[in-house]
Amino acid sequence: MTFNFLNASHAYEVINAPTIDPNKVEENILKDDKADINFGGMKIKDSYEGPPLEVPNLIDVIKEKKQQKQDTTEQKSDSQVEKKQSATLDSDFMEYFEDRNEIEARGHVVIKTYPDNTVLTADKAIFNKNTNVIRLFDNVVLDKNGTTLKGDFMSIDLNEENVLMNEPIGTMGIMTIRAQEGYAYANEIQMINGDAKMAKDIDMLLQTKGFGYLDETLVLKDLATPELKKKRSEPLRIKTKEIIIESKKEHDTITLKDAEIYYKKFRVAKVGSAELLTDKNQTFVESNLPEAGMFRGFGTYVGWGYTTEVPFGGTLKIMPALVYDSGLGVGVIGRYMSKRNMLEAGYATSSENLIVHGNYKFNDNLYLDYGRHAYFDEWFFGRRQPGYIAQLVHDKQYKVKDLDATFRQRWSAGYVTDYNEKESLSRNGTMRLRWQGELYKTFFEKKNEEQDMYIRTLAYTQAAGTLYGTGDTVGIVRFGPMLQTRVKNWGSRIMYGIAGVHGKSPLYFDQYIYGKQYITIDENIRLGKYLAVGYQGTISILRDNPDKELLTENKFYVVAGPEDVKLAFSYDTYRERAIFDVLFLVGKDTAKLKYDKLTIKNPDKAGKKTSNFENLKYYKVKVPENI
C-alpha cells in the first residue's frame, strides 16, 4: 500500500518498492557486437563477447513465453491491488506518534484515495495504521463521484470501505430524509428508522395511467391543484417497512414494501409491494399498480400488472385484465416505454380485437406514429381512430416578432386505412400527405392574481391541406375569435369559428366533422374543496358534418375527494372512451413518508445522466459512543 504524506514544506513518501534481482537481465536486439542491457531496472551499455548464436528449441521458446506472460499478469495484478489501496494525505501540519502508530494531520486536511477518486476534507484527521481507520473532525466533507457526505465527525473504515453516521439529515433531489442511524458503504447507503418529505415549496401531481397511456387526459390539472395558501399538517402519510432505491446501468427503481397509505387517521389503502421504474433521465415512470378504464373496440377493463426493465433503458409492463364488451372476457395489456419509444397493445376475448398504439420520438419536433384501431392526435382535426396507421410527423412552433403572434405548423406523411371497412371509400388504404398551420395572437389581457381572475381575448387562423394516394385532395381554412376567463373557482374558454372546406376524404375516419360554423366550449368549476366538474364540447351549428350531429365533441369529467387524494372520472361520448384516474397531490406540507429502512444501492450510478442523487448531503453527524 502506498501513502504520500505531504505538507507545506516537506514531503515524505513510503513506498513498497520491488526487490531488485541482479540475475534477471534482459537482452535487446544485438547491433553489431553491442547491446542495451537492463540490469535491476537501470539501463547500461556494454560490449558483447559471447559464443556464437544458436537457434533455440521451438518448444522451449513457447514454454518460456507462456511463463513470461504469466509472470507479467501476476505483476500487473499485484500492481492493481497496490493501486486499489493507495491514498494521499495533505495538510498544513502533520505529526507521527510512534507509540500508537498514528498520523495526526491538522489544518486544511485533504485525503484522496485511488482508484475510486474519493476526496475527504476536514479540519483534523487521525489515521491509525494498525486498524486502517481514519477519524475526521470538524467541517468534514466526503465526496465520491458526486455523492457528498457532510458532518462534524466521520469514521472511515478503509478495510470495509464504509462510513458510520448517527442521526443523519440530508436532501435527495427535492426530498429531505432523516434517520436515527446511517451507514454508507462502497456501493450502498442505508438509513434506519426515518422519514422523508418534500424539501421545497412545490406540489407534484402523481397520476395513474390506464390503457391509452398516450391519449390526452380529459382532467385539467388546475382542478386538482390544492390551495397552497393554507398550511396543512401532513394529512397524507405513507408508512412502509422498507424502501429500496436501486441504480442499474440504464434504470433507477424505487420499491416500497408493505406500504400503508393514511389520510389523517384513516388507512385508505394497503399495498404489499409497489415498484416504480424510470430511465436515467427520468423521461417516464412506470409502476406495477392496478389500472382500469374503457376503450372503444376493446371494452371496460380492470387489471393488475407486472413491470420489469428491459435493455437500452426501457420498461415493460404486462397486465392480465378482466374485460367486458358485449360480454365478460379476459384480456392482456402490454406497455413498453423507453426514452424515445412508447408502445401499447391490448387484446380481449370479449371483443376479439387487437389494439396497438405506438409513438417513436426522434427529437422534440419529429416523431413516428404507428398502430392499429387506436386514437391518434390530428391536432385541430381532433383525435381520430384509423384502422392502421404509420406516419412521420414534424410539429414545430415559432414566434413571429413583427406581429407579436405565434405560428405553428405540422407536417405528416404516411399510410392509413379505415377503422370500419364497410364505410370506407378506400378499402385497401392509401398514402396521405398533410400540412396544418395556425397563427394566433393575443389582443387584450388583464390579470388580478390576488383575486385569481383574468380575461384574455385572442384571434386565430388555421389552414390545412391533404393529398391522398387515391388522388383526392382536401383543403380547409378556419378562423375566428377566442375568449378565455377565470373568476376564482370558475374557468371558461369559448371559441367561435368559420370554416371553408374543399373536397372530401376517401377515408371515413378522416372526414372533417366540425362543419362550416362551430362553437367550442370548455368550462370547469370547483364546487368547494371536494368536488370539481368540467365539460368540453363542440357544436356544429349547421349540422353539416358526415353524421349530421349537433355535438361533434362531447366530454365531461368529475374530480372528487379531499385536497390531497382525488379520484377522477372522464368520459368522451363521441369516442366512447372512459378514463379512471387516481391523483396524489404531494407537497411540502401535505405528505410524509415514514420508513423502517431505506437503502440506496449503487449511489455512484444513480441518475448518472441527469442525477437526482448528485446533491446527496448529510448533516448533524454525531460521534457514536463505541468509537
pLDDT confidence of residue 413: 98
Tell me what pLDDT residue 589 has. 56
CA pair distance 617, 615, nearest whole angstrom: 6
No. of H helices and E strands in the chain?
A: 1, 43
What is the percent of the chain with per-residue pLDDT over 90, rounded to a whole number?
28
pLDDT 10s digits, 118-157: 788 889 988 888 888 888 888 887 776 655 666 677 777 7
pLDDT at 30: 36
Q: Residue 575 has which C-alpha cell?
A: 369516442
576 neighbors 215 (Cβ within 8 angstroms): no
pLDDT number for residue 372:
92
Looking at per-residue pLDDT, the higher value among 562 and 198 belongs to 562
- pLDDT of 479 > 90? The answer is yes
94-114: average pLDDT: 86
CB 625 within 8 A of CB 226: no
Q: Is the pLDDT of residue 317 over 80?
A: yes
pLDDT at 347 over 80: yes
Q: Is the pLDDT of residue 233 over 60?
A: no
pLDDT of residue 332: 94
What would the mean pLDDT of 287-300 be, rounded to a whole number? 82
Note the pLDDT of residue 458: 96
Calpha distance 489→331 (Å, rounded): 41
Does the structure show a pLDDT above 60 at 100? yes
Alpha-carbon dihedral sign for residues 425, 428, 431, 437? positive
Q: Residue 60 has what pLDDT? A: 61
Strand order of the sheet with strand 42-47? 25-27, 34-39, 42-47
pLDDT value of residue 399? 92
End-to-end CA distance of the chain: 25
Reply yes or no on whether the pLDDT at 211 is more than 80: no
- Give the sign of the dihedral formed by CA 319, CA 322, CA 324, CA 327: positive
Of 301, 356, 305, 358, the closest CA to residue 331 belongs to: 301
Mean pLDDT, rounded, of the chain: 75
DSSP letter string over 154-211? EEEETTTTEEEEES-EEEETTEEEEEEEEEEESSEEEEEEEEEEE-SS-EEEEE---S
Lowest mean pLDDT among 147-161, 213-227, 280-294, 397-411: 213-227
Q: Give the pLDDT mean for 210-233.
A: 51
- pLDDT of 275 reads 75
Which range, of 212-226, 240-254, 363-377, 492-506, averages the lowest pLDDT? 212-226
Are 40 and 20 within 8 A, CB to CB?
Answer: yes
Asked whether the predicted pLDDT for residue 527 surpasses 80, the reply is: yes
Separation between Cα atoms, residue 105 and residue 88, nearest integer Å:
12
Q: What is the DSSP string of 481-534?
A: EEEEEEETTEEEEEEEEEEEEES--SSGGGS--S-SEEEEEEEEEE-SSSEEEE
